[in-house]
Structure 1
Amino acid sequence: MHIAIAADHNGFALKSRLIGWLSEHGHTVDDRGSHTEEIIDYPPLCADVCRQVAERAVDRGIVLGGSGLGETIACNKMRGIRAGLCHDLWSTEISRGNNDSNVLVLAAKVLAPERAEEIVETWLTTPFKGGVHARRLRQIAELEEKAARM
């Protein structure tokens, strides 16, 4: 799978570890920044990863921040993005299985590196269930379309 990944200064170290993990597991990784631990604003990083996903330049995106809350809000402002903030395997399975999330947001200040790797693995391997969930995603897409016309 081709994955775009980005992190602010809070997620820089965990991002570096996840890039190695993803590569070891056969994924192609596009590191979109940040490339240092210097303080940086996360919205442009989120927009960049989400643009890659929305334009289908990559299959999925991963964004890391301190809490992940602001990153989730920023990502979900982008058309066609379904970003899920996941702290555990249950929310990860729901994010993919029910919501077909295409961007995973991780909270670097909350997650141990090993747990983050488990979440990424679960997120990458959990299929979308379809069915009633597909209907709900269509409804969400309709909300997005209406909001774009406001």
Structure 2
Amino acid sequence: MKIAIASDHNGFELKEVIKAHLSEREVAYEDFGTKAAMVSVDYPKYTQKVVEAILRESVNGGILICDTGIGMSITANKSKGIRAAVVGDVYSAKVTKEHNNANIICLGQRVIGDSLAQMIVDAWLDAEFQGEPHQNRIAMIEK
């Protein structure tokens, strides 16, 4: 398994926490930026890098982090084949994979703390898509 991860300047610190956590879990990741919290950047550019990696199938999923996760999720969901969910609790992280087969989770650095973020990532990584009847619903969404 390999995960794409990116943030804007408002999510940089939490991104670094999540990267360390992925390393502890021995989950490979590719960091698509940003490289610092001090310079304001446009989150759609970083969102698109993760989306492209998923669509190329060079990674198995993505984690996007900004101040709320909302802007990045809206941006990611503009791309066909992407199912991005803003997640702020462990249950939603688990179910968004099991029912929606979400291939991106979006986190808000200003909304959740480091420990909760790590638990959310764990729940999403460990969950498995349950297939039907959910696959039929995903197909309906994609139409």
TM-score, normalising length: structure 1 = 0.92
Large movers: runs of 4+ above 4 Å? none
Paired position in structure 1 for 2:69: 68
SS at match of 2:10: coil
Would you say how many aligned residue pairs link Structure 1 and Structure 2?
Answer: 142
Paired position in structure 1 for 2:27: 27
Distance (whole Å) between structure 2 residues aligned to residue 58 and residue 126 of structure 1: 17
SS at match of 2:68: coil
Paired position in structure 2 for 1:146: none
SS at match of 2:118: helix
SS at match of 2:82: coil
What's the RMSD between the two structures over aligned residues?
Answer: 0.7
Paired position in structure 1 for 2:135: 134
Q: 1:78, CA displacement in angstroms?
A: 1.2
Larger Rg: 1
Unaligned runs of 5+ in 1: 143-150
SS at match of 1:99: coil
Paired position in structure 2 for 1:45: 46
SS at match of 1:10: helix
**1:25-69 Cα shifts (integer Å, max 9, x gaps):** 011110000001111110010011011011101011110010111
Paired position in structure 2 for 1:81: 82
TM-score, normalising length: structure 2 = 0.97
Q: 1:117, CA displacement in angstroms?
A: 0.1
Identical-pair percentage: 35
Q: 1:15, CA displacement in angstroms?
A: 0.3
Paired position in structure 2 for 1:145: none
SS at match of 1:11: helix
Distance (whole Å) between structure 1 residues aligned to residue 141 and residue 46 of structure 2: 24
Residue type at the aligned position of 2:79: M
Distance (whole Å) between structure 2 residues aligned to residue 49 and residue 132 of structure 1: 28
Distance (whole Å) between structure 2 residues aligned to residue 63 and residue 86 of structure 1: 11
Distance (whole Å) between structure 1 residues aligned to residue 40 and residue 127 of structure 2: 33
